[in-house]
Every structure is written in C-alpha cells, then in structure tokens.
Amino acid sequence: MLKGFPVSKCAVLADPKPKGKTRVILRAIDQFVEHCGRLGIDVEVFQGIPIDQVSPAAGTDLMVVLGGDGTMIHYAGPLSHHKIPFYGLNYGNVGFMMNQVAPGMNENVERLQAGLFSMWEFPLLEVDAYDLSDRLHHGFGLNDIYLQRMTAQTCRVNLSIDNTPLAFNPVLCDGVIVSTPLGSTAYSFNVTGSVVSVDCQAMTITPIAANRTCPIKSLVLPLSASVQVEVLEPSKRKVLIVSDSQNHGNIARAEIRLSSKSVRLCFTSDTPNLPLRLVNKCKL
C-alpha cells in the first residue's frame, strides 16, 4: 500500500451504457467537474468514447472512473500503459474496486485535493492467443483471463505450467479460468475456485464444470508461472478466450502469464482492511 498525494489534474472516465444509468452518470460528471473547478483541479472528460481514443493530457495525476466494478475492469487493463492511478466512484452495485460517493461528491473531490487516499498495486495477466488462422490476439486481465466453449460440446484442452504438461491431460470442461488474487473472489470463486488474498503473489487455475477425470477443483500457483493451453479438436470444439472485456474467438492455443504492467487502484483513507474486505465479499 502506498500513500496518496494531492491531485491537481485528473481525467474522468465514464461509459454509461446500461439503461437507466446514463442520466445519473452524466449528472455525476457535471457535479465532479463543478467541484473540481471550485477547488482549482484541472479536469479532462472522456465519456462514452472508445478506449483507444482515451489519451490523458501530460501531467494527469489520476483517472477517476464513474461506474461499477465492470466499468473499472473495462478501463484499467487497457489503459495501464499510461501508468496513472485509478480512483473509482461507485455508480454500480456493490463496487468492491470503487469508493462510495456518500456522503457527497464534494467530499470525494476534497479528499483527492488533500491526498486523503491510499494506493494498492494490482498485477495484470497478459495473454497471447492464436486462432485457427494463426492470427495473434493479445489482451490483459485485471481480474482474470478465461477460455470457454462456443458450442454445445465441451472443451478438450491440454494444460501446461511453465511448458510442462499436466499429468491428467486432456481436461474436458466448459472452460478454464486463470485469475489474479484480485479476481480470485470473482468468477473463479463462483465456480469453486480458491480464494487468494490480494497481498499474496499467486494466481489460480480453475476448470469450469470439469469432467470427473480432472482431479482438481482449483490450483494455486506462483504469480510468476505461465500457463499454456492447447485446444484439442479446435474446429469441432470451438473455444473463445476472454481477457476482461475483450472476446477472442476460435482459439487454437494460448499462453497466459504475468504482465510487466500493473494497475494502481485508489481507496479512501477510511476504507477498512482491503485484503479482508475483498475476501469477505465471498459471503455475499
């Protein structure tokens, strides 16, 4: 955990696609910009535009994301190369990666100006996947990277760790999830994956609805490990791979590994013990 800093220049990111949220998000942007102007904080707004067109001005201290956890995931990995921390304001449901707007927008902006927040650095996973035409698909995963079947038939895959095949290959399943510690309490947990505290250097591999010939429900590995996936019968048993909000279809093989990039998420100073907060979300 790192201490926050006084923010003087920030970028606002919002993608208000869900029906019923657009008016709320647009009003929140106006409020945020108004309070920043009152406190002398420069603001640049990127609202509802493609990620590849988001290019914060030089000297931007912080990216402020308005939405829910899905919105944060949508932006954080693809924009990690800017090396700018993310501060989320929750306009979604629970918002475990976000900060609560209450008691008001003005209090949040004042906290940013005073640097009353902490920063946590989270690892990213990275994938190189090749489709049936041998085209490369590249992506990042803040929570996880997973493959899943595209047809009524199960996936049939060979899994290797650091290029060493697992002894119980091939694995018949609906898919396989490779998750970061942050993502271990999300999709992976929902299909009986192991929960890993965010301050542990580990990744998990969790088969989805695996055949009984697969002896593991979840496998915990060092974060430095790499995972190779070979799809057997890829034309017949079609598989897609998902890296956060990006889908890559008709995959024949892939390698998932720790990225050299990372993401810093910011939380207000009154946020309780973050590792336990994220582990405790599993009770919901």
Predicted local confidence at residue 84, as pLDDT: 97
How many CA atoms within 13 Å lie on the side-chain side of 170? 14
CB atoms within 10 A of CB 209: 14
Note the pLDDT of residue 81.
93
Whether 276 shows a pLDDT value over 80: the answer reads: no
Distances, alpha carbon 153 to alpha carbons 201, 229, 231, 238, 243, in Å: 35, 18, 13, 8, 22
Give, to the nearest 10 degrees, the angle between helix 22-39 and helix 105-114: 40
What is the predicted pLDDT for the residue at 254? 97
Question: What is the rounded average pLDDT for all residues in the chain?
Answer: 91
pLDDT at residue 278 greater than cutoff 80: no
- State how far the Cα of 203 lies from the Cα of 179, in Å rounded to an integer: 6
Q: What is the pLDDT of residue 249?
A: 87
**Statement: residue 154 has pLDDT above 90:** yes
The confidence score (pLDDT) of residue 212 equals: 87
Distance CA 272, CA 279 (A): 12
**Residue 1: pLDDT above 90?**
no
Q: Which residues pair with 175 in a beta bridge?
A: 148, 208
Between CA 118 and CA 211 the distance in angstroms is 44
The pLDDT of residue 284 is above 60 = no
Residue 20 has pLDDT above 70, yes or no: no
Assigned token pair, 207 = 């088969």
Please report the pLDDT score of residue 257 as a whole number.
Answer: 98
DSSP state of 99: B
80-127 pLDDT per residue, tens: 999 999 999 999 877 888 998 988 899 999 999 999 999 999 999 999
Helix (H) / strand (E) containing 31: helix 22-39
Which one, of 102, 94, 41, 57, lies nearest residue 72 by Cα?
94
Helix, strand or coil, per DSSP, at residue 9: strand
Region 27-56 average pLDDT:
94
pLDDT at 251: 96
Secondary structure element (H or E) that encloses residue 253, with its range:
strand 251-268
Rounded to 5 degrees, φ, ψ at 138 are -120, 145
As a whole number of angstroms, the distance between CA 105 and CA 39 comes to 13
CA distance 148 to 207: 10
The helix/strand/coil state of 72 is helix
d(CA 273, CA 18) in angstroms, rounded, equals 31
Distance CA 36, CA 57 (A): 16
pLDDT tens by residue, 192-250? 899 898 889 999 999 999 998 889 899 999 999 999 999 999 999 999 999 987 888 89
Residue 143 reports pLDDT greater than 80: yes
Ordered by where they begin, the domains of the chain are 2-115 (3.40.50.10330), 123-261 (2.60.200.30)
Q: Compute the distance between CA of residue 277 and CA of residue 202 in angstroms, rounded to an integer.
A: 18
pLDDT of residue 265: 95
